[in-house]
């Protein structure tokens, strides 16, 4: 597992994977192979779950500020 691949995985929802792969010189096919392999898939799922929880926290904060029940 490479830090480059983790960086790309962590930012794949915000930026195009093709652009993210160009920065650290990683081929897209290699990144997708990384993402679909078994041990790395668990890392990918954990990143997605963490991101989902961050979004839920932000929604809760916004709802609290706006007094939405």
- Map out the domains of the chain as residue ranges: 3-65
- In angstroms, the CA 18 to CA 12 distance is 9
List, for residues 2-29, the tens digit of each pLDDT value: 778 888 888 888 889 898 888 888 888 9
List, for residues 48-62, the tens digit of each pLDDT value: 888 889 889 998 898
List, for residues 24-54, the tens digit of each pLDDT value: 888 889 888 877 776 767 777 788 888 889 8
Cβ pair 24, 8 in contact under 8 A: yes
Regarding pTM above 0.95, the answer is: no
Cβ pair 39, 6 in contact under 8 A: no
Cβ pair 20, 8 in contact under 8 A: yes
The length of the chain is: 69
C-alpha distances in Å from residue 56, one per residue of 10, 11, 18, 38, 43: 17, 18, 28, 27, 20
């Amino acid at each position: 597992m490479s830090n480059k691949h983790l960086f790309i995985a962590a930012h794949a929802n915000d930026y195009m994977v093709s652009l993210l792969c160009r920065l650290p010189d990683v081929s897209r096919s290699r990144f997708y192979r990384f993402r679909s392999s078994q041990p790395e898939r668990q890392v990918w799922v954990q990143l997605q779950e963490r991101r989902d929880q961050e979004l839920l926290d932000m929604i809760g904060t916004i709802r609290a500020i706006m007094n939405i029940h």
